């Protein structure tokens, strides 16, 4: 119990600095050295959506989903990824998949509310992703009906904030994590106290092994009692013999996604 409380109070204690420097990403014209993590693409002209969560660039595995307004969301458990280089990647899938007919698609944040009515369907995906510009061209078929997506990431997507968070945790950069939290938590501890607490906790719980921090689900839109848009996503922390499943709640405040809470999943 003490470990859970410590991690929640530590990792959930983060407040985004006013400058928001941690959310600065490479410019759209620069190549992305690592595209692991969650990525969403939208095409508002065709009311279509596509997303994927990539575990690694060197051994690319993960999940994907595509959706059509009024039709639902199709979950693809194990598509085939081919990373050509740091500039481009292909995604392929053909076979059975799960269609959530009552899923609610969100073409603003790139987040969706999963449905509970599930049908087994046949699905086919042929997609190309431009890693330099963060755009995708996806052709997909649902029970033989063809749909297309040509578009980029939603401006309000939490993908970059999540990438910054998992990267900071994997590097044990507690100053960076502290710079990503909701302002509420900044009142509870100073930056120096935070760094000291997290350094001591990490050493006692995870030791000196190099950690692997990986998203294990796509973020979903969740209800917030505080009146903010919120997203929830699961990730894992693996270091040595320790493997923790975690859940992070992000809130969209002032055009930034801030970390509200992290706790065991």
Pair (219, 253) in one structural domain: yes
CA distance 142 to 96: 10
Q: Is residue 121 part of a domain?
A: yes
C-alpha distances out from residue 20 to 79, 118, 129, 226, 239, Å: 35, 40, 28, 21, 29
Pair (185, 252) in one structural domain: yes
Q: Is residue 30 part of a domain?
A: no
- Kindly give the confidence (pLDDT) of every residue in the chain, 265 residues in length, as a single tens digit, with 9 standing for 90 and above: 233 333 444 444 332 222 222 222 222 323 344 677 889 999 999 999 999 988 877 878 888 999 999 999 999 988 999 988 888 999 999 999 999 999 988 888 888 888 899 999 999 999 999 988 889 999 999 999 999 999 999 888 898 899 999 999 999 999 999 999 888 777 778 889 889 999 999 999 999 888 999 888 888 877 666 567 888 999 999 999 999 999 999 988 888 899 988 899 8
Q: Is residue 77 part of a domain?
A: yes
Q: Is residue 192 part of a domain?
A: yes
Pair (184, 81) in one structural domain: no
Give the CATH number of the domain where residue 200 resides. Answer: 3.10.450.100
Residues 6+ apart with CB under 8 A from 166: 37, 213, 214, 215, 235
The whole domain housing 241 covers 2-25+157-264
Q: Is residue 165 part of a domain?
A: yes
Pair (162, 260) in one structural domain: yes
Confidence at residue 224, expressed as pLDDT on a 0 to 100 scale = 63
Pair (208, 188) in one structural domain: yes
Pair (200, 137) in one structural domain: no
Of 120, 152, 184, at which residue does a domain stop? 152
Global pTM reads 0.72
Pair (161, 148) in one structural domain: no
Pair (41, 145) in one structural domain: yes
Pair (144, 43) in one structural domain: yes
The DSSP code sequence of 140-209 is EEETTEEEEEEEE--TT-SHHHHHHHHHHHHTT-HHHHHTBB-HHHHTT--HHHHHHHHHHHHHHHHTTS
Pair (98, 128) in one structural domain: yes
Of 111, 134, 152, at which residue does a domain stop? 152
Pair (138, 181) in one structural domain: no
Task: Report CA 91 to chain centroid distance, whole Å.
Answer: 18
Confidence at residue 137, expressed as pLDDT on a 0 to 100 scale = 97
Q: Is residue 175 part of a domain?
A: yes
Is residue 66 within 8 Å of residue 140, measured between CB atoms?
A: yes
Of 103, 124, 152, at which residue does a domain stop? 152
Pair (132, 177) in one structural domain: no
Q: Is residue 31 part of a domain?
A: no
Q: Is residue 32 part of a domain?
A: no
The count of domains in the chain is 2
Confidence at residue 110, expressed as pLDDT on a 0 to 100 scale = 85
């Amino acid at each position: 119990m003490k470990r859970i409380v410590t991690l929640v109070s530590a990792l959930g204690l983060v407040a985004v600095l006013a400058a928001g420097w941690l959310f600065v990403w490479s410019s759209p014209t620069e190549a992305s050295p690592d595209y692991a993590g969650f990525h969403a693409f939208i095409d508002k002209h065709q009311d279509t959506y596509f997303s994927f969560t990539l575990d690694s660039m060197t051994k690319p595995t993960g999940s994907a989903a595509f959706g059509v307004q009024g039709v639902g969301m199709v979950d693809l458990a194990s598509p085939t990824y081919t990373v050509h280089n740091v500039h481009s990647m292909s995604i392929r899938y053909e076979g059975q998949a799960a269609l959530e007919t009552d899923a609610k698609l969100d073409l603003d944040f790139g987040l969706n509310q999963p449905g509970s009515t599930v049908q087994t369907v046949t699905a086919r995906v042929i997609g190309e992703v431009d890693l330099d510009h963060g755009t995708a061209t996806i052709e997909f078929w649902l029970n033989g009906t063809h749909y297309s997506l040509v578009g980029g990431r939603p401006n309000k997507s939490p993908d970059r904030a999540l990438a910054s968070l998992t990267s900071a945790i994997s590097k044990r950069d507690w100053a960076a994590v502290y710079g990503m939290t909701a302002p509420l938590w900044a009142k509870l501890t100073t930056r120096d106290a935070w760094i000291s607490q997290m350094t001591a906790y990490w050493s006692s719980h995870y030791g000196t092994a190099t950690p692997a921090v990986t998203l294990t689900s796509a973020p979903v839109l969740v209800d917030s009692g505080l009146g903010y848009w919120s997203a929830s996503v699961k990730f894992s922390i693996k270091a040595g013999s320790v493997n923790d499943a975690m859940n992070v709640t992000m809130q969209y405040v002032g055009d930034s996604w801030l970390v509200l809470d992290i706790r065991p999943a």
